Amino acid sequence: MSTRPSDSFDLVEASIADIHAAMEVDRVTATALVDRYLERIDTFDDDLNAILTVNDGALQRARQLDAHFASDGLVGPLHGIPVLLKDNHDTHDMPTTAGSVALQESAPPRDAFVVRQLRDAGAVVIAKANLQELSFGVDTISSLGGATRNAYDLERRPSGSSGGTAAAIAANLGAIGMGTDTCSSIRSPAAFNCLVGIRPTRGLCSRTGIVPLCGTQDTAGPITRTVEDAARTLDVIAGYDPEDPVTSRGASHPPTEGYVAALDATALNGARIGVARQFFGLQADESASEADAEAVTTVLEGALEAMAAAGATIIDPVDIVDIDYLKSARVLRYEFARDFDAYLSELGDAAPHDSLAEVVSTGKIAPAIESRFEETDILGVDADAVDRNVDYLRRLVRREQLTETTLSTLIEHDLDALLYPPSTIPPVRIPDHQPFDEMNCELSAHTGLPAVVVPAGFTADGLPVGLELLGGPFDEPKLLSFAYAFEQTTTHRRPPAQFGELDRRD
C-alpha cells in the first residue's frame, strides 16, 4: 500500500479548521479534498440517494484554488471547502431544479447571492442535493431524485425539505451544507441526522436566487457537523443584499469580530433557559404513538440536566403562545404561487415554465407532492390579489402579535433562550410520511426570530434527537455560543457507522 499525503488526512468528520490546518502543512490540497469527497459520493450515495447533480467544474475550481494558495495563501475563510447546496439555490454552472423533473432544464444565468458569497470566500460547490420537491413538505421526496434516506437508518426519513443536504453532510459527502428553512426545513433534517442547523433571523441572509416557497418565511442557512462550522458559514453568508430589501434589517447586526469569535465553551454558565413544554409530547393522536414522543422527551430531559450541570438556570415550564393562534398565522397558501411565479419571471428565457400552475399541470410532480396540491387551495388563490386579501392581511398582523408575545415572554422571565424539540417524534419509517403536526417549526418561522438546532443525543433505537434554541432578533451570537457550550460539554455528534472512511489501497 502506498500512501499519498492526501490519504493520511482523516476526512471523516473533518472540520473547516481541520482542513485548513492540513493544507498549511501540505497534508491535503483542495484538489485532493474535492476528489475524495466525490469518491465518497460515488461510493455511498446509492444508499442515501441524497445527491441530485455533481458539479463537473469542481476539480478545475479546486486546482485554481491550489494555485492561488501556492502563491498567495488562502482565498478566504472557506478556501477549498467542499460545499453541498440544496438544489433550490441558483447556480450559474449547474441546473437549479427544486427537485422537479419539470424544472430539470432550468439554467439560471447567475448564482444566488449566498452562493456567490460562498464562492467568493473560497468554497467549492461540489454537488447539489435532493430536497422535498419545490420544498413543499417535510419528507425529502422529489420527482427528479426520488426519496432520500436517513443516514442513521436507511429505512427511515431524513425529514425535509433540506433532507438531501442533511443526510449527505451526516455521511461526510461534503464538508458543509446549505439548506433553506420555510418551516422546519433546516432544523428537523439537522435534528434527524445529528447535525447543527441555523434558521437565521429574518433579514440576516439574502433570499435572492433561491427558489421560493413562502417569501415571508424563506431563509437560507447552514447545515453542518459542528457549531463552529455553522458559525464560520454564517460569517460568510450573513450580509446586505441590495436586491433583497429585507436584508437591510440585518445589515448592522453581524458581530464585528464574526460569529466564530462569539463562541464560548462556558456560555451556559449563568444562562437562563426557558423550557417550552407546550412543544413537548405528541401533538396529534394520529401522528405516532406516545412511546415515540416519550423517546424524544427522554433525550431532551437528559439535555436539560447537562445544561444545568454546565451552570444554566432552567426555567421549566414557560408558556409562550396559544398553539391554535400560532397555526392561524400560516400564510404559505397565499404566497407560494405569487412568489414562485415571480421567481420564474426573473429567470426570463432560462425558465422552462411560466408559473407554478403550469409546473404542476405537467403531471411530472412526484405523487406525494401532487397530492398536497390537491388537498390545498394553493393554485386557487389569485396571486395578483394577495396583497388585498383580508384573511392574508389578518394573518400578517397575527405574526406581529406573536412576535411581540414571544419577546415579552423572554423579557418577563429574564430568559436568554427558549428550548424545545424540533420534532416531538423520531424519524418515521419509509413509506410513512413525517407528520407535520409534530414539527415545532412555526414559532421561529412565523415570528422571524432565530433558532439553532444542535445534537441532543440518541434514542434507545439509535436515532438522533436534536434540541432547538430560540432567541430574540439577531441573537445568533448568543444562541450559537449556548449551542457550542452544550456541544463541547456533551459531544453527542457521531458519524453514522455505515459511512466510514474509504479504503484507499492502490
Grid coordinates in use for 271?
444562562
The stretches of 73-126 forming alpha helices (DSSP H) are: 113-120
Across 450-474, average pLDDT: 98
Q: Residue 370: what pLDDT?
A: 96
Query: How much is the pLDDT for 1?
Result: 35
- The confidence score (pLDDT) of residue 503 equals 76
pLDDT at 88 over 70: yes
Peptide bond into 158 cis (omega under 30): no
**Under a CB-based contact definition with an 8 Å cutoff, are residues 224 and 178 in contact?**
no
Q: What is the mean pLDDT of residues 279-307?
A: 98
**How much is the pLDDT for 3?**
46
* Chain segment 104-125, per-residue pLDDT in tens: 999 999 999 999 999 999 999 9
Q: Which domains does the chain have, with CATH numbers?
A: 17-499 (3.90.1300.10)
Phi, psi of 454 (to 5 degrees): -140, 150
Measure the CA–CA gap between 43 and 298, rounded to whole angstroms.
36
Taken in order 48, 173, 91, 187, the sign of the CA dihedral is: positive
Dig out the grid coordinates for 274 from the structure.
Answer: 426557558
Q: Residue 424's pLDDT is what?
A: 98
pLDDT higher than 90, residue 7:
no
C-alpha separations of 24 from 58, 72, 208, 270, 414 in Å: 21, 12, 35, 38, 45
The catalytic site residues sit at 86, 161, 185
- Output the average pLDDT for the chain: 97
In contact, 385 and 337? CB cutoff 8 Å: no
Tens digit of each residue's pLDDT (9 = 90 or more) over 335-392: 999 999 999 999 999 999 999 999 999 999 999 999 999 999 999 999 999 999 999 9
**Residue pair 164/51 in contact by the 8 Å Cβ criterion:** yes
pLDDT value at residue 2: 40
Phi, psi of 98 (to 5 degrees): 55, 25
Burial class (CB in 10 A: 0-12, 13-18, 19+), 343: buried
The alpha carbon torsion through 262, 13, 438, 310 (nearest 10 deg) reads: -50
pLDDT band of 6, cuts 50, 70, 90: low
Is-cis flag, bond preceding 408, omega within 30?
no
Instruction: Report the alpha-carbon distance of residue 158 to residue 434 in Å, rounded.
Output: 9
Angle at 193 between CA 187 and CA 198, to 5 degrees: 30
Q: What is the pLDDT of residues 35-75, one digit of tens each?
A: 999 999 999 999 999 999 999 999 999 999 999 999 999 99
Distance CA 423, CA 438 (A): 5
pLDDT at 4: 61
Contact 447, 457 (CB under 8 A): no
Closest CA to 184 of 361, 427, 429, 8: 427
Q: What is the pLDDT of residues 400-424, one digit of tens each?
A: 999 999 999 999 999 999 999 999 9
Mean pLDDT in residue range 442-448: 98
Residue 245 reports pLDDT greater than 80: yes
Q: What is the pLDDT of residues 117-159, one digit of tens each?
A: 999 999 999 999 999 999 999 999 999 999 999 999 999 999 9
226 has a pLDDT exceeding 70: yes
Q: Where are the alpha helices (DSSP H) in 413-475?
A: 442-447
